[in-house]
Structure 1
Amino acid sequence: MTKLPQKPRLEWKMVRGVITPRHRASYTVNGKRRERVVTLDWQDDPQELDRLYWLCERGNHPIQKPKPPATSWRVLVEAWRKDPIKQKSLSDETKRSYRRTMDALLEKNESKDVSKTTRQHVRAIQARLADTPRKADHTIQVIRMLWNYAKKTLDWPLGENPAAEIKLFGPQRELPAWPEWMVKALPTAPADVRTTSELILGTGQRPNAAINMRRDQFDGESMIVWDEKGDVAHDVFCPPRLAAFVKGLPIEGQHLLAKNLTQPKGYDSVEKQFRSWRKTLGDKAAPYSLHGLRKLAIVQLAEAGCSDAEIQAVTGQSAQMVAFYRAKASKKRLSRAAQNRRDQNKNGT
């Protein structure tokens, strides 16, 4: 008979005629001795036995993990998502926005008890997201909304809302369009950032819509762009430069930025790469975001002499937003013309 491995807290017992390994650990609760025994399904594989044994030693075996509370964040989010009344009142874009924020919230909190969430916890989340003020504010608003839903709709026994009256960063200033030097630095950016940037500039879409673009959205001189805010798709002209760029991308799945064969990469993944690259450009790059490329598209179109209606057809931006960035483009164009005339006058030409 093969000698059975021997380890501290590992015992071998005959169970239904089969020698079976079990991890037996003792501990004390309120002065009383307790034991927890975990049967190890090792399948006669010494390596699997070793893996299961060390899971138990670290307290990470599934059987050792405490059962999530009935009032966990995961339970709350799933209840909110299944509420037909809540979901009926939301647009598809709002649902997607909530889903992204809730999924991020669940990454570290899904098994935690909602009732044990404190204002300190909420402030810590806000501080962690301070580099992205809009995301920080939306996260606080989602926590506030979910807490109220749990208390008023699910009748959970919760106290005061820990996210209530926490000061938000508030409306941010209009996002600045990228300067030319930053666009010229794009070749030094990670591949995902370069691809995303080309798609935003070429299509005028929001970053998330650009990241989610599929290959079948491009067909010769046409492309399908998505207006996330209006939840509407538009068939528009595809500029030759963008068509050539897309054609040159490696095929790794249905999407241009493919996570696998059928799914795109996430916005957070690309945005994180962008922020890392932005740091390499120094403090002067700090004010600029991926959204600023969409604003640059407006400025470039305005400088090219496009009408407001033409710019809206390309970018899907509101008339007010187009007017705002057109004014910037006009000021730059007028100042250039004025300076050139002044130089010509000095030179007597």
Structure 2
Amino acid sequence: MRKPAKPRITKPNLTWKLNRRQDAWEPYHRVTWTEGGKRKEKTVKLDWRGDAERLDALYWECRSGKHVKQAKPAKYTWRALIDAWRNDPRIQGKLAEGTKQKYRRDMERILEKNAGKDVRNTTRQAIRAAHTKLGETPRMADRYLQVVSLLWNYGANKLDWPLGPNPAKGIDHFGKQSEYEPWPEWMVNKLEEAPETVRTAAFLILNTGQRPNAAITMKFSDFDGDWMSVLDEKSDERIEVFCPAALRQFIADAPRQGAHVLAKNLTQPRGYYAVSSAFRNWRGKLGPKAKKYVLHGLRKLAIIRLAEAGCSDAEIQAVTNQSPEMVAYYRKKASRKALSRAAQQRRK
């Protein structure tokens, strides 16, 4: 087989190598030097795709040191910082599993867009903007600030990184918010028009009575006949709870696209933030009156529905794992609704 003709394009530091598998010549930018009496060489393959103009642009990127393959990886990255924190036994040994899980979710959010970025380039304006963007869920927003500050102080004080002032320090938190509003029935009815992801997440939260993330990440294997295994995120414990008939039927009919009811792929669930984003987009279409309601409000509605069904506080706690104080708080809403219904019906 004849060897293909070598391109006639020549430039200083440009060399051509024959790729025998592809039966094609490939251009490389090559720099050589001597170090310690030994000749050294560094080459960057130029993905020219047979286009002379593209080759020229890539060549001059290399000559000016701006080619992507010439960039030195950042040393002080968010990925390196978070990995160091997660693998530090002095830190991990002091934290409860529930606390670790909360931190893990916020750190994954940071890594989504910032894993390879240099921590030192993080500005106060960027932190403030991210905090404001999360303002619809104030607790999540404030926890984000807390995690950024925690990591920054760890890098500066434990790793001796040259980070400078903590950009999260001094930014006002939203602070303690009022309790979550239980969803009104009109909004529950609107779920028929919601995207499948939102509809499924809402059904799981409402019928398990669990925190949104615990419900969203449930597996098909968590359902076994009349019973379901739910995760209490605060204590990091698995609890066996009786599964209502409607939820059993829902799980039986649900399409299986992976191990999880809300599957990202065969082995992973959809992330809470992805589901929350889809929910917010759907909620926005319902108008201003829907704005104050969040996914967590479905858990509170579960308490109200159980109370209206005549359940005792102990029975509601057995299903939802809520504190006695929280059950009592939302029971009042249920009692008020039940009494008002009875009163208004007497008008007839």
Q: Same fold (TM over 0.5)?
A: yes
Which runs of 5 or more residues in structure 1 are unaligned? 26-36, 345-349
How high is the sequence identity, in percent, across the aligned residues? Answer: 51
User: What's 1:117 paired with?
Assistant: 122
Separation of aligned partners in 2, 1:258 and 1:50: 45
CA pair 38-313 structure 1, distance change in 2 beyond 3 A: same
Q: 1:319 aligns with which of 321, 324, 330?
A: 324
CA pair 6-233 structure 1, distance change in 2 beyond 3 A: farther
Q: 1:191 aligns with which of 172, 196, 207?
A: 196
Instruction: Please say if 1:298 is aligned against 2:300.
Output: no
User: What's 2:140 paired with?
Assistant: 135
Separation of aligned partners in 1, 2:54 and 2:247: 51
Q: 2:239 aligns with which of 231, 234, 248?
A: 234
Instruction: Classify the secondary structure of the residue corresponding to 1:263.
Output: coil
State the 1:66 CA deviation: 3.1
CA pair 287-83 structure 1, distance change in 2 beyond 3 A: same
Q: Deviations over 1:247-284 (max 9, x none)?
A: 00011111111111111111111111111111111111
**8 Å CA contact retained: 1:9, 1:23:** no
Superposed CA RMSD in Å reads 3.2
Separation of aligned partners in 1, 2:332 and 2:182: 13
* 1:149-160 alignment, distance < 5 Å: 149-160=154-165
Q: 2:182 aligns with which of 171, 174, 177?
A: 177
When structure 1 is superposed on structure 2, of 108-117 and 323-332 the one drifting more is: 108-117
CA pair 74-336 structure 1, distance change in 2 beyond 3 A: same
**8 Å CA contact retained: 2:46, 2:58:** no
Which runs of 5 or more residues in structure 2 are unaligned? 32-41
**8 Å CA contact retained: 2:97, 2:235:** no
Instruction: Please say if 1:260 is aligned against 2:255.
Output: no
Instruction: Classify the secondary structure of the residue corresponding to 1:185.
Output: helix
User: What's 2:74 paired with?
Assistant: 68
Task: Please tell me the residue identity of whatever aligns with 1:278.
Answer: R
Instruction: Please say if 1:250 is aligned against 2:255.
Output: yes
Q: Deviations over 1:13-44 (max 9, x none)?
A: 2569995412589xxxxxxxxxxx853277xx
Instruction: Classify the secondary structure of the residue corresponding to 1:63.
Output: helix
Separation of aligned partners in 2, 1:268 and 1:216: 23
TM-score under structure 1 length normalisation: 0.85
User: What's 1:168 paired with?
Assistant: 173
State the 1:8 CA deviation: 10
* 1:47-126 alignment, distance < 5 Å: 62-69=68-75, 71-126=76-131
User: What's 2:152 paired with?
Assistant: 147
State the 1:46 CA deviation: 5.0
**8 Å CA contact retained: 1:101, 1:139:** yes
State the 1:306 CA deviation: 0.4
State the 1:157 CA deviation: 3.1
Runs of 4+ in structure 1 off by over 3 angstroms are 1-12, 14-20, 45-62
How many residues in Structure 1 have an aligned counterpart in Structure 2? 330
State the 1:287 CA deviation: 0.8
